[in-house]
Structure 1
Amino acid sequence: MGKRSNGEGNLYQRKNGTWEGRISYLDPLTDKRRRVSVYAPTQREARAKLREVSKRIEGGQPAKDAAVTVADWLKTWRTTALEASDRKPTTKALYSSLSRTHLETGAFGATRLDRLKPSDVEALVVGLRAAKLSESTVRQVYTVLRGALEIAVRDGLLATNPVAKVRRPKVTRTEARHLSTAEVQQLLSHARASRYYPAVVLMAFTGLRRGEVAGLAWADVDLDKAELTVRHTLSRVGGELVLSEPKTARSRRRIPLAAPLVAELRAHKARQDAERVEAANVWTETGMVFTTATGTMVDPRNMLRVVEVAAKAAGIEGAGAHTLRHSAAVGLLEGGAHIKAVADILGHSSIAITGDIYGHTSDDAARSALDNLGAALGGTPT
């Protein structure tokens, strides 16, 4: 037996010549006494390991990190902490998918928590990039792993989070794809025959997201005041349509409606009222603005298909529902709207986001702005 040092437990030399250090402590999580052993080839190394354990215990950290694999912990995290969180159902589904696909498989998933190093996380990021995943997806995977291991720290499985020591992967902001006013008019013209043409018009006029349009109820629309309020978003989660509240306070917003849009929505409401009468007892009353022929909610993907089909017919490449959102934003800015007003309409958390995404203006808009400034400053300089 080696000499017992203050707060360091006991040291023993084993029959095979290696050294074992033991320390007994009261587990604050269970209020039970536990014993931890460390092993090393020399007494000096064993004492150093024992001191590290003692230091962790005194700091309120777990004596030793858990030996479970990353994959096993993530499976537990998905069904407990993630499920119990107040994240939106779509976010929970996304995080679960990213975890299963990119973190719980292969060598990384088989790595034990107590052996996971920041360099392992960096190697993961390198591998994801090599697999040609987008920058935003790589960052999301990082976010999932970091959040899951924060819960492991909270639950006493880890002393520190190795992911927190790795810089968050960057996402290079690119200018949003948008259409000119003429292109939007062409797209709307080709979408006119669709049942969901009014929904496409609403996206083009207001920049609403397709989930916000699909989640719009008549109770949130005041045609007399020419305004609507975004209170819900509709999305498909696990094969079911789920109506949920917007994830941020800024996303819950009131939006004024242009006169042509009010007229379109009035006509749409009249058609829907006629459908309700014709469907009779087959009609399911949901109170939604956009419904199927029997009154049920509409999958937001149907609206995306209408936009894509109309864009293709108009000869416009790469246009989708989000393209209409970008086009509305650029149109508002180039039309002279203040960036704060545009941020409010789009539901951005700050004007910085609006500026980063829509900072570019057309040459005509830039020239017009400079001409106006020149006129205000007194015309031609002398």
Structure 2
Amino acid sequence: MAEGSVFKHCSCKSADGRRLGSRCPKLRRPSGAWHPTHGRWAYQLELPTTTDGRRRTLRRYTFDTRDIAAKERDDALNLLGLAAGNKDLAIEIGDLLHQLKPTEPLPDRNMIARRVKAGIPATTAVLLGDYLTEWLTGRSIEASTKRSYDGHIRNHLEPHLGHIPIEKLRVGHIKAMFNAIADRNIAIEAARGSDDPDIRASVRRQRTTGAATMHRIRGTLRKALNDAIRTHRLIEFNPAAHVELPSGKRPKARVWTTAAVKYWQATGKRPSPVMVWTPQQAGQFLDYAEDHDIVLYPLYALMLYRGLRRGEAIGLRDLDLDLDVGAAVISQQITTVGYRPVTKKVKTDAGDRTITLDQVTVAITRSHLARRATWQLVSGPAWPRTGLIFVQPDGTAWHPDTVTKRFDDLIEKAGLPPIRLHDLRHCAATFLKASGADLQDIKEMLGHSTITITSDTYTSVIQELETERAKAEASAALVPRTQRRAG
């Protein structure tokens, strides 16, 4: 490979108006040495010939010193050296250099080297959107996790960042995406509160993106970029790891107190995304469910009394239950991917647990099993052998979305303040704490991976219950007051 040359160049013109360039006589002294102040330094080197054999040259001008010009020439030669005898790759790198604009810096050698190692064309920018799509396609992960990643990529990362070459992605780009998401949240909330029905209708079924979801979006991008560093060697820096977001802490559970119920009745709004019933409200629900949906009543009771997740209750098997001992093993769940039910193991070691059943739950479950035996007797040999505790009267498994829909319908018809089906779990934890259990007991019942999750979610709601009232009264009583007439 030719080493190229370093020389001086100027913008002087001849008498007929033509630029002299490197032919200007003022560039050299009479001795032949370069003039120290006239002109600027430049370099030139031969690039690999094109596929059809045409010669081409790389010329770069306007360097302040010879050393700077020589260094860039050497950098260009080092880039060409990455071809290591591969003629096609040499032509490709030559194309990349030949297409540079006069003021455009040379491509980063390490970046080109990473592309060469990854088998990616040196002349093609790897756009983040293309990389994320390829990255997700090649991952062997749970269907639900893949669906979550896909949603983050399709709804947020691709629209905001997909057009940016992966090696040019910076922290500022990612911050701008989250700022845009926050602005969209504000616009949706403003439209929802508008007096104009057309404006309200324009955001119907549009959802805001909460702080926790933003953290998960960043987590997806951070994981993908970490793989771009470790596995694909496309980049050396992960900008997603250096983006700060507002706290995505779980919302505190709040009790449907009398004041909270009045606020909801007046505004239609819940004081918190996570609401729990008082014991009296929970009892009203169970009474109503027993009278109006006896088929699902035992499942809801189990969730309310012992804090099971929806998928854990639906997936509970005959072999997991021992009513004589009063215990149930929680080891599998039935969840959904899209709308399709999927049976799988519980997600964590902490979730794989044995829970103790109280006498009320045991009695309700025994009655359910007796009722189920009647359904089976009526169906005869056609009865499906699912092995599940909670099934429909025809023996088939419950679809998780159906269980949720019927729960919501019962609440509305019973006239109770609304909670989510998952909030039955929060009710169970709240009532257990009010009865004297500590956070470790609640953690084990719920199958939380750390006690931090338990504490973050339930600290405030615990303080709203009667167990804290006596402490508050005792504290206030210590403050001496003179007798004053009311009013």
TM-score range, shorter chain: 0.7 to 0.9
Conserved 8 A contact 1:255-1:345: yes
Conserved 8 A contact 1:217-1:288: yes
Matches of residues 307-326 of structure 1 in structure 2 within 5 Å? Answer: 307-326=407-426
- Indicate the SS of the match to 2:154: helix
Structure 2 letter corresponding to 1:150: N
In the TM superposition, what is the alpha-carbon distance from 1:61 to its structure 2 partner? 8.7
User: Would you say 1:152 and 2:152 are equivalent positions?
Assistant: no
Q: Which residue is 2:277 aligned to?
A: 179
Structure 2 letter corresponding to 1:220: D
Conserved 8 A contact 2:341-2:400: no
Q: Which residue is 1:161 aligned to?
A: 238
Residues 56, 113 of structure 1: CA spacing in aligned structure 2 closer, same or farther, 3 A cutoff? closer
In the TM superposition, what is the alpha-carbon distance from 1:306 to its structure 2 partner? 2.7
User: Would you say 1:100 and 2:184 are equivalent positions?
Assistant: no
CA distance in 1, matches of 2:279, 2:320: 28
Q: Which residue is 1:259 aligned to?
A: 359
User: Would you say 1:53 and 2:130 are equivalent positions?
Assistant: no
Structure 1 letter corresponding to 2:449: S
Residues 240, 187 of structure 1: CA spacing in aligned structure 2 closer, same or farther, 3 A cutoff? same
User: Would you say 1:110 and 2:212 are equivalent positions?
Assistant: no
Residues 372, 330 of structure 1: CA spacing in aligned structure 2 closer, same or farther, 3 A cutoff? farther
Paired residue total: 357
Instruction: Name the TM-score, length of structure 1 as normaliser.
Output: 0.83
CA distance in 2, matches of 1:173, 1:285: 39
Q: Which residue is 1:338 aligned to?
A: 438
CA distance in 1, matches of 2:342, 2:138: 21
User: Would you say 1:221 and 2:278 are equivalent positions?
Assistant: no
- Indicate the SS of the match to 2:126: coil
User: Would you say 1:368 and 2:470 are equivalent positions?
Assistant: yes
Give the counterpart of 1:119 among 172, 175, 189. Answer: 172
Q: Which residue is 1:12 aligned to?
A: 45
Q: Point out the more displaced range, 319-328 or 361-370.
A: 361-370
CA distance in 2, matches of 1:272, 1:363: 38
User: Would you say 1:80 and 2:138 are equivalent positions?
Assistant: yes
Residues 66, 298 of structure 1: CA spacing in aligned structure 2 closer, same or farther, 3 A cutoff? farther
Structure 2 letter corresponding to 1:53: R
CA distance in 2, matches of 1:217, 1:372: 48
CA distance in 1, matches of 2:370, 2:219: 47
Conserved 8 A contact 2:44-2:59: no
User: Would you say 1:249 and 2:353 are equivalent positions?
Assistant: no
Summarize deviations over 1:118-138 as a string: whole Å, max 9, x none.
111111111112221111221
Residues 260, 362 of structure 1: CA spacing in aligned structure 2 closer, same or farther, 3 A cutoff? same
Summarize deviations over 1:341-373 as a string: whole Å, max 9, x none.
111001111222111110022252113357899
In the TM superposition, what is the alpha-carbon distance from 1:187 to its structure 2 partner? 1.1
Summarize deviations over 1:214-268 as a string: whole Å, max 9, x none.
1111111111110101101111114321011111110111110000110111111
CA distance in 2, matches of 1:373, 1:225: 43
Q: Which residue is 1:142 aligned to?
A: 218
In the TM superposition, what is the alpha-carbon distance from 1:170 to its structure 2 partner? 2.4
Instruction: Name the TM-score, length of structure 2 as normaliser.
Output: 0.66
CA RMSD of aligned residues (A): 3.3
Summarize deviations over 1:159-215 as a string: whole Å, max 9, x none.
322212223552144212211000101111221121211000001101111111111
Summarize deviations over 1:75-98 as a string: whole Å, max 9, x none.
1122112xx13xx43222222122
Conserved 8 A contact 2:333-2:344: yes
Residues 178, 269 of structure 1: CA spacing in aligned structure 2 closer, same or farther, 3 A cutoff? same
User: Would you say 1:71 and 2:104 are equivalent positions?
Assistant: no
Residues 369, 346 of structure 1: CA spacing in aligned structure 2 closer, same or farther, 3 A cutoff? farther
Structure 2 letter corresponding to 1:305: K
Matches of residues 289-300 of structure 1 in structure 2 within 5 Å? Answer: 289-300=389-400
Conserved 8 A contact 1:129-1:138: no
Matches of residues 20-39 of structure 1 in structure 2 within 5 Å? Answer: 21-22=76-77, 23=79, 24-25=81-82, 36=93, 39=100
Q: Which residue is 1:7 aligned to?
A: none
Q: Which residue is 2:287 aligned to?
A: 189
CA distance in 1, matches of 2:238, 2:123: 11
Structure 2 letter corresponding to 1:130: D
Percent of residue pairs identical: 27
Residues 110, 54 of structure 1: CA spacing in aligned structure 2 closer, same or farther, 3 A cutoff? closer
Conserved 8 A contact 1:187-1:307: no
Residues 116, 263 of structure 1: CA spacing in aligned structure 2 closer, same or farther, 3 A cutoff? same
Gaps of 5+ in 1: 4-9
Q: Which one has more relative contact order, counting CA pairs under 8 Å at least 6 apart?
A: 1
CA distance in 2, matches of 1:163, 1:213: 38
